[in-house]
Each structure stands twice: as structure tokens, then as C-alpha cells.
Amino acid sequence: MLPESLKEQAAAASIEAFDADALVTGKFDRGELTLEIAPEKVVRVCRFLKDERKFVRLSTITGVDRYPEEPRFEVVYHLHCLDGNERLRVKCRLPGANPEIDSVTSVWRGAGWYERETFDLFGVRFRSHPDLRRIMMPDDWEGNPLRKDYNITGSRI
Amino acid sequence: MSETAITGVTEAAPEQRPASVKPRAMTLNMGPQHPSTHGVLRLELELDGEIILSCRPDIGYLHTGIEKEFEVKNYQQGVTLTDRIDYLAPLSNNLCYCLAVEKLLGLEIPPLAQWTRVMLTELTRLNSHLVWLGTHAIDIGAMSVFLYCFREREDILRIFEMYSGQRMMTSYFRIGGLALEPPRGWQHRVRTFIDAFPAKVDEYEELLTNNHIWIGRTQGVGYISLEDMLDLGVSGPMLRAAGLQWDIRKSQPYSSYEKFDFDIPTRTENDVYARYLVRIEEMRQSARIVKQALEGMPEGRWTADAPHVVLPDREKMKTQMEALIYHFKIVTEGFRVPAGEVYQTIESPRGEVGYYVVGDGTTHPYRVHVRGPSFANLQAIPRMVEGTLIADVIAAIGSMDFVLGDSDR
């Protein structure tokens, strides 16, 4: 559901018109628009944003761990429209147990490494990613360092 | 003597090869200690003779967990981490992080601090482009350019040292303004440098722009289409050399860039030579900006009027109780930043730097994500070099101007 305050935001209103179920909530804060999308609709919405709203650039993808809250993980996409000089933050919330979301590499190829990084450091799996491997940590590393419950004191032996 | 005996190579007969081995394909590891990768980048190249069949970049050798470290430092301490991300453009990273946190805090930065920030980030751009030009030329075989570039870089580093006491890890920008008052006599130092600089750029150009070997090694090399670059997230001079006139300093001005008069150089050839010309012109434009900042530098305070964020003057601490209390609070626990999230982008020498800062109302950031331009740019390497000659890989990756610290963080 689109909050009343966002009715004037063209990007938000167009997603609402495109697929009313996709938009969970949104906010406009400090001049930045954030839209929360249902995780199962992320590829569909991203494809729409790129083709119809001209968000040709994917600036970055990352995660936020809200441990111990549930749903625990946020996957955050920062999009950029060059023509309208407009930026948009798209967010999906995922559960703590077995977090999985569809990969958007079919929309922007540049998503490949960002999704690998999020997989590596948060342990979020991206379905149908062409090459989902660790990118920062060694291949045999255990755990995901950017999770809030990752032990940062003491040494691993 | 037969030819085989001279070279010591015997070609295996086709029927003796295992079925899995492609005829004449060879895998070559370039890096992580290869001199031309400027850091610890490893490229897995599959070669057929000198033609590259496939290229797989392998990064992460310089991963230092900076994003994790932000979470255990308070906001002001985080500034020192940003220097170490892109060590050739420390002030650009300082600026982007400070702008992001200031946006969360809703701070108004005084004009003197904004202009000094602009001037110093443009000097940083010169510094970074000089290192790029010198090392890029050395990779391709032009030794002397390196010496010329480092001569001028030394002057810039001396200016940084004068301002902050440090040559590289300056941390001069702080949340709420500048770390220190601009030093006495800075005008003279900056003026001496910037008046002489355009003539120095002419010298580099004299060495390279019409040099037959340079043109032969760079023209038509390292092509990648604009559509591919946008799809892969490339930003900065790479896009401008492909004809896209996009510069965040113009499109979303920050820190009073809208008050400066400068051009965005573009080329359309989209090869290594075009990227060289774009960066050379950017140096001239940066020099223009520095000159304007020098001449129009406003007066006033160098920190914002926000006693809960900015450390008080030493003098006030001795005479005013409130100042002493604020000082104690800021030093012992740091300042609180309201909950919220911001994504701030600026144009660094390499392209779009973005800081995504999530605050939870405490004195430490909940999460900081850094969008380094090198990370996205490196993704485009396979698209750029596959199907070309191995010698062109050196020129192509040099034209990208990446810093591994920026991509691995």
C-alpha cells in the first residue's frame, strides 16, 4: 500500500499503478525516496523501473542486518535515472532463516558483483545468479562478517 | 637444426591431447603481484596465442573490513577510515562521508569550510590524476612522464601537509566543517602552485599527445560501448570519454560546486586515448576551480554552529562551563546522530563515490556502505579486453584508473 504522503512521488505512484501488490510501504525522508518492495516481486519491479522509468543505472546493492528483529535482513538497491537526475532506494526485507531473493542480474549486469558481495558478507542467497561465489573473503571462510552476530573479538584458531 | 630444437617447444599431436583441453588455449595468471595492476588485482586470462579468450578478475586481496569497522567507531572516528579506502583520493572520501553524516544531522556548513573543501578536493583530483598519468605512461613505456607527474604531486602533498599535518591520510574534513583553521600563508602556497600548473600540463601533453608510440599504443584500444558501461555500473571519466556528459559536480552539486564555473570535458572515441584526453582536460578544469576558490574564498568560521557536534575552541573551554561539558561529552562518547538513512554521492577522480549511512540514534553508525567507483569499474574489464591482444590489457586496465583499496575496502 502506498502511504498518502507519497502519492505525489512519480516513481512510487507508477509502481502502485503497475503492480499494487508489489509495494509494501515507502517513505520520503531528507529528500530521498525509499520504497519497500515485496521480495518475490523484485525482478519484476526492477525491470519496470529500468524500462519504463529509465533507471538505467544501478548504483549499488548492499544489505543491512536488523538482528535480532524479524524480518532480519534488508537488501537495499540504489537506482539512478540519468535523464531525470533522480535517485531511488528500493528495499526488500528477508527473514533471518535462509534469506533468499531473486537476482536482478537479468536487469542490470552490474548487479553481479554487488550481489556476490552481499552474499559473501551477509549470507543472503541470490537465486539464478550466474556466478554466486565469495568475492571479498577467501573461499573457505566461515561465517558472514557483516552480520551483527558475527564475533569480532578474540581470534579464530 | 630443426625449429623445434631451437625453441624447445614441441607441439603435441592433436590425438594426444586430452579431450578437455582446447587446442592452443593457455591459462595465464596476471597478478596479484603484477606491476601494471597497481595493487593486488589478479586477472585469470585464457589465451589463444596473444588473443584473450576470456578474462576473470579476482579481487578481495585488500579487503580490510572497513565497513564492519565503521560500526564500532563513533561518527567522527569514521572519518579516518575513509582516507584508507581510496588512498589516492583521501579527501574526496572524507568529503562524501562528512556530507552524508551532515545530511543525517541536518547541519549547515559555513561558506569558508565549503569552499576550502572544494579547493582541496580539486587538488586531490589533480593529485590522483597525476599518479594515474605517471603510472599509466610507465606501463605503456613512457618513463619520463612519471617523473614529471610526481614532481607536481609533491607540491600538492606539501599543501595537504600544511593544512592537516599529513601528506596522504589527511582526515582534514570533519563532520561539521574542517579539522583546523586554514593555515597562515596558504594563499601564497596554493597560488604559487596553481599559477604554474597549467604550463606543467602542457609539458605532459608535449610528451604524450602527439607522440607516435603513445598514439599507437592507445588509439582504438580498450573499446567498450556506452550501453555496456551503463549496464555494468561504470562511472566517471570512462563514461565521459564515451560521450556521456555526466558529472555529479554539475548534475547534483554539493558543497557549493554550483557557484564555480567549469566545463565537463567529453570525447566520443571511447578508447584509451580518449580517456587520456578527458583526464588531461579535467586537470585543467580542476585548476580553474582551485583558482576560483582561491580568489573568492569567503571569510568566517571553519566549523558549523553546532556545539553538540563540533569541539569547542580551547579558549572557550577555559572560560565557559557549557563548552567544557560539550567537550567532555563529545570526546568521551561522541555525538548522537538521529535515526535515518542517507545515500550521498560525489564525483571522485574515479567516478561516483557513494556513502550509504544508516543511523539508529546512537553515537555509532548502524551501518555504512561504501560504493567505490573502482569496484563497479573493474567489473567491466572482461567486456573490455576479451578478444583483444594481451599487450592491450595493460593499456586498457591502466585507462580505467582503479584503486584496489577502493574496490576491496
Closest in B342, B371, B408 to A30, CB measured: B342
Expressed in angstroms, the distance from the first to the final Cα of chain B is 56
Considering only the beta carbons, identify the residue of B103, B246, B408 that sits closest to A30.
Answer: B103
Q: In B, which residues are within 8 Å of A113 by CB distance?
A: 375-376, 378-379
- Compute the average pLDDT of residues B148-176: 91
| Structure confidence at residue A78 as a pLDDT band (50, 70, 90) | very high
Q: Is residue B71 scored above 70 in pLDDT?
A: yes
Of B104, B231, B343, the CB nearest to A87: B343
CA distance A115 to chain B (A): 12
pLDDT at A84: 83
Average pLDDT of span B69-94: 90
A123: Cα within 13 Å, side-chain hemisphere: 18
Instruction: State how far residue B58 is from chain A, nearest Cα, in angstroms.
Output: 8
Residues 128-147 of A with CB under 8 A from B: 134-138, 145-146
Which has the higher per-residue pLDDT, B139 or B24? Answer: B139
Under an 8 Å CB criterion, which residues of B touch A?
A: 59-60, 63, 65, 67-68, 72, 103-104, 106, 230-235, 244, 246, 251-252, 340-343, 345, 352, 354, 356, 358, 366-367, 369, 371, 375-376, 378-379, 408-409
Cβ pairs A/B, distance under 8 A: 87
The neighbour count for residue B44, using CB atoms within 10 Å, is: 14
Helix (H) or strand (E) holding B186: helix B186-208
The answer to whether the Cβ–Cβ distance between B356 and A146 falls below 8 Å is: no
pLDDT average, residue stretch B44-62: 88
> Is residue B397's pLDDT more than 50?
yes
Residue among A46, A80, A114 with most chain B CBs within 10 A, to mutate: A80
**CB spacing of B343 vs A78 below 8 angstroms:** yes
Report whether pLDDT(B22) > 60: no
pLDDT score of B11:
47
- pLDDT bucket at B4, cuts 50 / 70 / 90: very low
CA–CA dist B357, B335 (Å, integer): 15
Q: Average pLDDT of A57-78?
A: 91
Confidence of residue A62 (pLDDT cuts 50, 70, 90): very high
Nearest to B340 among A29, A58, A113 (CB): A29
Closest chain A residue by Cα to residue B352: A59
Q: By the CB < 8 Å criterion, does A56 face chain B?
A: yes
Cell of B53: 579468450
In this predicted structure, what is the pLDDT of residue B12? 45
* Nearest-CA distance B282 → chain A (Å): 21
Contact B341 A89 (CB under 8 A): yes
User: How would residue B111 be classed by pLDDT, with cut points 50, 70 and 90?
Assistant: very high
Q: Do A78 and B251 touch (CB under 8 A)?
A: no
**Residue B52: in which H helix or E strand, if any?**
strand B51-58
Q: Do B371 and A109 touch (CB under 8 A)?
A: no
Residue partners of B179: CB distance under 8 A and separation at least 6 = B164, B171, B172, B173
Per DSSP bridges, beta strands A86-94 and A32-37 are parallel
Please say if the pLDDT value at position B320 is more than 80: yes
Instruction: Give me the pLDDT at residue B369, please.
Output: 93
Residue A43 near residue A106 (C-beta atoms within 8 A): yes
CATH class of A4-127: alpha beta
> Do B116 and B180 form a contact (C-beta atoms < 8 A)?
no
Cβ B352–A59 below 8 Å, yes or no?
yes
Closest CA to B350 of B374, B326, B332, B367: B374
The mean-pLDDT minimum among A16-20, B92-96, B121-125, B155-159 falls in A16-20
Query: Which residue among B72, B358, B375 places its CB closest to the CB of A64?
Result: B358
List of chain A residues whose C-beta atoms are within 8 Å of the C-beta of residue B244 = 82
Collect all residues of chain A within an 8 Å Cβ-Cβ radius of residue B354: 59-60, 78
Q: Which residue of A has its CA nearest to B67?
A: A146
The answer on pLDDT for A122 being more than 80 is yes
Domains of chain B, CATH where assigned: 66-408 (1.10.645.10)
pLDDT score recorded for residue A1: 67
Partners of B345 on chain A (C-beta within 8 Å) are 59, 87
What pLDDT does B122 receive? 93
- Per-residue pLDDT of B246-293, as tens digits, reads 999 988 899 889 999 999 999 998 899 999 999 999 999 999 999 999
Q: With contacts defined as CB-CB under 8 Å, which chain A residues touch B100?
A: none
pLDDT averaged over chain B?
Answer: 87
User: Which of B60, B341, B366 is opposite residue A135, by nearest beta carbon?
Assistant: B60
pTM: 0.89
Best mean pLDDT range from A49-53, A84-88, B303-307, B354-358: B354-358
Cross-chain CB nearest to A85 (options B251, B358, B408): B251
A105 to chain B, closest Cα gap in Å: 10
B230 closest CB neighbour out of A56, A64, A136: A56
Q: What is the pLDDT of residue A23?
A: 82
| Closest CA–CA distance from residue B60 to any residue of chain A (Å) | 4
ipTM of the complex in this document: 0.91
Q: CA A3 to CA A9: how far, in whole Å?
A: 11
Could you tell me if A96 lies within 8 Å of chain B, comparing CB atoms? no
Whether B17 shows a pLDDT value over 70: the answer reads: no
The yes-or-no verdict on residue B2 having pLDDT over 50 is: no
What pLDDT does residue B197 have? Answer: 92
Nearest partner of B367 among A73, A97, A101, judged by Cα: A73
Q: Is A1 in the B-facing interface, judged by CB distances under 8 Å? A: no
CB B389 within 8 A of CB B50: yes
pLDDT of A52 higher than 80: yes
At residue B39, the pLDDT reads: 74
Give the torsion sign (CA, B149, B279, B233, B84).
positive
Residue B79 φ then ψ, to 5°: -55, -40
- Residue B140 to residues A157, B42, B212, B345, B403, Cα–Cα distance (Å): 45, 19, 12, 33, 18
If one compares B32 and B29, the residue with the highest pLDDT of the two is: B29
Q: How far apart are CA A11 and CA A13, in angstroms?
A: 6
C-alpha torsion sign, points B83, B84, B85, B88: positive
- For B327-366, write each residue's pLDDT tens digit: 999 889 888 999 999 999 999 999 999 999 999 989 999 9
B343, A108: Cβ pair inside 8 Å? no
CA-wise closest residue to B272 among B215, B233, B227: B215
Using an 8 Å CB-CB cutoff, list chain B residues near A89.
341, 343
